[in-house]
Structure formats: structure tokens, C-alpha cells
Structure 1
Amino acid sequence: MPLPFLTADRALDAHEDSDGDDVLAHEDPDRWRRPYRPGPWRVAGAALLLLVASFMLLATMIIAFAGAWSGAGVCLVAALAVIGSALRILRAGVWVSPSGLRRVGFFTTRSLTWDEVAEVRTVQQPVRWLGLPRTVQGQALTAVGQGGAELPVLLTDHNADFLSRTEAFDRAADMVEAWADEYRAVPA
């Protein structure tokens, strides 16, 4: 008996093993894309928040069945805030498109066109460990703006995406640098 879903799974695995440069016919080439996958620390943090949110939603249901509608509303709003936080954590990172570079943080998002970026490079410097105040020596992908303006650090090898995954950091940094080299305007 043929199992068609297994062949689709194998095709997906073959696509994941490719270098990622092949563009699908139905894909919009101008969309923003993250040149790497979210790391295990980021996914684990979001999963933990979603677990907490599920208990909050269960509490909302129990409070609503008890008849305390205002308490249920407050609990529902809090659960939705936790779900939104989990989604924002998953969305955080560096995104690229032919139009520019975007650094998405938890509270802020900053987009730059490639014309505003003079150079993207990997440097050795003290970096924050998992975004906490503690710093360790590591690698950081930085961007320099036109006129020498220093921009915030894009990626580090000790953030939630790349902690204990130096090869993944190197691949992601190379991808962002390749996007910058391809689309950045060459100064005359």
C-alpha cells in the first residue's frame, strides 16, 4: 500500500538538505526571510511560555464557569499577552530581503536599506550571553552604516539562536554577509 505522505516528507527533507538558494516558483522573491533557523534556546523559551499560557487559558475557562466574568477577562488578556510574547520571541532575529536588512528585537524592529549599510562583518568582541547582562568573549556579526555609524550587533554566537552551535552561527553570518555583498550598493 503506497503511503504518499512519506514521499512528501522525503521531498521536504531533500529541500532542507539543499543550500537554500533555490527559489520556489510560487515564492515572492521580495519577502523578508530569516537566513537561519531559530535556535533551541529560543524555541524552548517560547514553548515554555506557551505551556504557561495553556494553563492560564484553562484557568480562564474555570473562572468563567464559576461565573466571575471580569476575572476570566483579566486572565484571558494575560494569557493572550503571554502568547504574543512567545510569538515575538520566535520572530526575533535578523531578516533579509533584496530591499534591506531588518533586526527584530522583542520590543523594537529596525530596518535598513542596503544603501544605508556600508559593511557587514564578523568580529571578535565581548558579547552578551543569552541576552543577559553577563558578557563573554565571542563572535558578533556587526553592520557599519554609511559614514562609519556603528549599528547595533546583529547576531552573536552566544545568543538564543546560536549558543553551543558555532557552525550554525558561521553559516548564518556568511549568509547575511552574502546578502549584503549581493545587494549593497558599491561606493563609487
Structure 2
Amino acid sequence: MPLPFLTADRAFDATDDVALPFDDHDQWRRPYRPGPWRVGAAALALLLASFVLFAAVIITAAGAVSGAAVTFGLAVLVILSALRMLRVGTWVSRHGVRRVGFFSTSTVAWARVAHARTVQQPVRWLGLPRTVQGQALILVQRGGEQITLLTDHNADFLSRIEAFDRAADTVEAWNAEYGVAVPAAATR
């Protein structure tokens, strides 16, 4: 069964430098492949869910239906959490850029974006409170608000600096294509 949120479009395998590699620019796409840390954590969660489901079957066979229902509900919760973990990241389309978090999603239209740029700054390591020096793709909105879209030390790009550079360049290309040009003096 194909899982479109896991696979990157065929254009990422191409050697040519296509800035906007997708055919349908109206569909929300992730401009990079999910990293091994994110996929590994989701795989471990699904493995845990399989054991919990097996426990629910054993509890059902023992005759404790209410306990089996609770255990089955827990397994469903773990499965949904693993799937949400795979959806977390930055998504782009003709309409704007979407930052999908585990508990919330925010969308910024390209018309509201002043510019997107890569900066050196302290970033969180794998989303934990510990910070390290790294790179981050910052989206600056017209009002001056900044949103961190990607970092080179998150679950998608840890130890994959080339993938981070390619993803940051792709998001910046989407901004250049669909964003409204703002004079440099207006963004300061």
C-alpha cells in the first residue's frame, strides 16, 4: 500500500536541479524525505502497538472484554501517534507553507511571507530542550514575525546536511516563485 506522506516525489531522485519538482503545485507536498530518526521512532511505536494489540487479543480470549477494549484503544492511540509523527514537518504548495507539528498545524500564505532565509543560530537537538549550534530555515512574515521551518538537527536532517541544504533551497525556491517580491529595505 503506498504511503504518500512517507515517499518523496520521483523528482528528488533526479540529478537535474529543478527548483519546483512537482507537477501539481496545488497539492501540499513535503519538499524532502522524512529522516531516519523520525521513521525509526514511528517504526518503534508501531512495533509497540503490535504488542499491545496482541495483548488485547489475549485479554479478550481470557474473557475481560472491558480490559481488552481499553488495551485496544491504547493500541489505536499509539498507531495514530506514529502516523502523526510521520506527518510532522514543513509542507509547501502554491497556496503557502504549512508547518505541521505533533499537536498543531499553522499555514502561512506566500503573500504574507517577506522572505525565507537560512541562518546560523542555536537550534534544538531532535526537538529536545538541549540546543546546539546549527542552521535553521527561517520564514519572516510581513509583520516581522519569524517562524523556524527546518533545522539541521531535527529528526529529519540530523547527520544529513546535504538533505537540509536541498530542502531549504527548495522552500526558498517556492517562496521566490509564489511569494510577492519585497524590497530589501522593507524587510528590515
TM-score (norm 1): 0.86
Q: How does 1:87-106 map to 2 (within 5 A)?
A: 87-106=83-102
The whole-number CA distance in structure 2 between the counterparts of 1:23 and 1:44 is 27
Deviations 1:100-137 (A, max 9, x none): 00000111100010011111000000000000000000
Tell me which amino acid in the other structure corresponds to 1:131: G
Aligned to 1:154, what secondary structure does the other structure show?
Answer: strand
| CA displacement at 1:29 relative to structure 2 | 3.3
Note if 1:163 corresponds to 2:158.
Answer: yes
The whole-number CA distance in structure 1 between the counterparts of 2:118 and 2:157 is 14
Counterpart selection for 1:41 from 37, 40, 47: 37
2:50 corresponds to which residue?
A: 54
Question: Which has more helix, going by share of residues?
Answer: 1
CA contact (8 A) 2:12 2:21 kept: no
Counterpart selection for 2:115 from 112, 115, 119: 119
| CA displacement at 1:80 relative to structure 2 | 0.5
Aligned to 1:138, what secondary structure does the other structure show?
Answer: strand
Tell me which amino acid in the other structure corresponds to 2:158: L
2:177 corresponds to which residue?
A: 182
Tell me which amino acid in the other structure corresponds to 1:182: E
RMSD, matched Cα: 1.8
Counterpart selection for 1:78 from 74, 77, 80: 74
Tell me which amino acid in the other structure corresponds to 2:67: G
The whole-number CA distance in structure 2 between the counterparts of 1:108 and 1:16 is 27
State, as a whole percentage, how many aligned pairs show the same letter. 64
The whole-number CA distance in structure 1 between the counterparts of 2:120 and 2:74 is 41
The whole-number CA distance in structure 2 between the counterparts of 1:94 and 1:126 is 19
State how many pairs are aligned.
172
The whole-number CA distance in structure 1 between the counterparts of 2:11 and 2:105 is 30
Larger Rg belongs to:
1
TM-score (norm 2): 0.86
- Ranges of 4+ aligned residues in structure 1 off by more than 3 Å: 19-24
CA contact (8 A) 2:11 2:22 kept: no
The whole-number CA distance in structure 2 between the counterparts of 1:118 and 1:68 is 59
Counterpart selection for 1:140 from 136, 142, 151: 136
| CA displacement at 1:15 relative to structure 2 | 5.8
CA contact (8 A) 2:116 2:139 kept: yes
